[in-house]
């Protein structure tokens, strides 16, 4: 923050709450320029230049959508309505959105506001009791118009999803482009094992101490990781633990789909707002929530002709998994899918990503 920045008590409250919005790998791809007592500009930057999961900027656009919803809920809590205005940018990776808060005494309060700081990822195995119809209804009602949820549940279907997740993990682990991301997103600093302000803490990976140590060791270099993966089946155990087992150990998987295929930046922001409301609802229902977003991303790359890996095996595997995804929910729904994940019975995790302080997010 520049020493000269002053921020009103209203914006301090709203932004201090909204900064808890989720972003891929906790990158917090936003900064705030304060332009008045009730106005500010969001300066976003997508990670398409270095994250293989964000090559079209869509993951960052979804995250900014989560942020917009968090701002909306937080402003309403203070008795204000937030109005967002798109600002054109010169550079392709940049995102600019003007925000104006207008006082609205009596504005409707949304109970999801109370979940903003509690909401987080649960990567560990969860309890498997199926969702009740009341719980499903709460999720369905949390989504704005234009979005619906497809549930994948029951032992047989969860087993199919588990195989799909196991196969999909092969796409992630077989490519060097994935390694470049995975090797940088875990916070190995000793003081950040449980809570990391800008990365993912090791204890939030959902692995035991031995597998955390193995992960750290194997991620030291691509040649080591690749050798282990190719000749010693080095990723079989993590895939079984983090992808297969956890896919069985949940109440249900879900796919959020729009009524049309998302295309524009604002389609993704609106999708992000829907996803965030769904995620806050999981917290409200005391359910754990784990994103399973990479199948959606890889299928989108295939649809859009994005070449995301130099490894032919990776591309072939992604093609195969795209077919499996289509068999699971139907081709039309894959095309309209914006987010996939699982929910299950769970206590709040004892390790999680936290956030940069607001002062570091102010320009």
What is the binding site for ligand FMN (CB under 6 A)?
22-26, 59, 62-63, 66, 120-121, 123, 200, 291, 293-294, 352-353
Least distance to ligand FMN, CB of residue 30, Å: 12
Residue among 8 and 211 whose Cβ is closer to ligand FMN: 211
Least distance to ligand FMN, CB of residue 9, Å: 25
Least distance to ligand FMN, CB of residue 35, Å: 26
| φ, ψ of residue 196 in degrees (nearest 5) | -120, 135
C-alpha to C-alpha distance for 218 and 349, rounded to whole angstroms? 25
What number of other Cβ atoms are within 10 A of residue 178's Cβ? 22
Least distance to ligand FMN, CB of residue 308, Å: 15
Residue among 10 and 354 whose Cβ is closer to ligand FMN: 354
CA distances from 27 to 14, 192, 195, 267 (A): 20, 15, 14, 21
Least distance to ligand FMN, CB of residue 259, Å: 20
Residue among 234 and 349 whose Cβ is closer to ligand FMN: 349
For 27-82, give the DSSP string. ---EEEEE-SSSEEEEEEE--TTT-GGGTTSHHHHHHHHHHHHHHHHHHHHTTEEE
Burial class (CB in 10 A: 0-12, 13-18, 19+), 41: middle
Residue among 36 and 357 whose Cβ is closer to ligand FMN: 357
Name the 3-class secondary structure at 316. Answer: helix
Residue among 34 and 293 whose Cβ is closer to ligand FMN: 293
C-alpha to C-alpha distance for 316 and 175, rounded to whole angstroms? 12
CA 140, 337, 314, 56 dihedral sign is negative
Q: What would the two tokens of residue 39 be?
A: 């106005």
Residue among 63 and 328 whose Cβ is closer to ligand FMN: 63
Least distance to ligand FMN, CB of residue 4, Å: 31
Residue among 294 and 309 whose Cβ is closer to ligand FMN: 294
Least distance to ligand FMN, CB of residue 357, Å: 15
Residue among 43 and 119 whose Cβ is closer to ligand FMN: 119
Residues whose CB is less than 8 angstroms from the CB of residue 147 and which lie 6 or more positions away in sequence, other chains included: 256, 257, 258, 259, 271, 274, 338
* Distance linking the first and last C-alpha atoms of the chain: 5
The phi-psi region of residue 98 (left if phi > 0; otherwise alpha if psi is between -120 and 50; otherwise beta) is beta
Least distance to ligand FMN, CB of residue 122, Å: 8
């Amino acid at each position: 923050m520049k020493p000269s920045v002053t921020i009103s008590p209203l914006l301090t409250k709203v932004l201090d709450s909204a900064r808890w919005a989720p972003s891929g790998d906790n990158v917090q791809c936003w900064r705030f320029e304060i332009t008045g007592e009730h106005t500010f500009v969001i300066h976003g930057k997508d990670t398409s230049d270095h994250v293989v999961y964000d090559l079209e900027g869509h993951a960052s656009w979804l995250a900014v959508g989560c942020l917009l919803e968090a701002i909306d809920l937080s402003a309403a809590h203070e008795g204000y309505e937030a109005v967002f205005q798109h600002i054109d940018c010169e550079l392709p990776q940049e995102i600019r959105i003007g925000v104006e808060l207008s006082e609205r005494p009596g504005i409707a309060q949304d109970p999801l506001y109370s979940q903003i700081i509690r909401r987080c990822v649960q990567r560990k195995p969860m309890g498997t009791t199926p969702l009740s119809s009341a719980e499903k209804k709460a999720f369905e009602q949390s989504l704005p118009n234009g979005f619906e949820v497809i549930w994948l549940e029951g032992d047989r279907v969860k087993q199919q999803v588990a195989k799909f997740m196991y196969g999909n993990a092969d796409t992630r682990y077989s490519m060097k482009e994935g390694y470049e991301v995975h090797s940088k997103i875990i916070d190995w600093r000793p003081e950040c094992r449980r809570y990391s302000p800008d990365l993912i803490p090791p204890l939030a990976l959902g692995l035991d101490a031995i597998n955390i140590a193995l992960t750290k060791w194997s991620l030291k270099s691509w040649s080591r990781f690749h050798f282990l993966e190719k000749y010693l089946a080095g990723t079989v155990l993590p895939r079984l633990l983090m992808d297969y087992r956890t896919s069985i150990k949940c109440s249900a998987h879900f796919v959020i789909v729009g009524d049309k295929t998302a295309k524009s930046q604002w389609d993704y922001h609106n999708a992000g707002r829907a996803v965030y409301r769904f995620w806050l609802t999981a917290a409200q229902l005391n359910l754990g929530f784990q994103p399973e977003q990479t199948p959606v991303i890889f299928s989108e790359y295939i649809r859009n002709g994005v070449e995301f890996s130099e490894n032919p095996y990776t591309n072939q595997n992604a093609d195969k998994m795209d077919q499996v995804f289509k068999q699971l929910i139907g081709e039309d729904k894959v095309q309209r899918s914006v987010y996939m994940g699982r929910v299950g019975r769970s206590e709040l995790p004892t390790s999680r990503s936290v956030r940069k302080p607001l002062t570091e997010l102010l320009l």
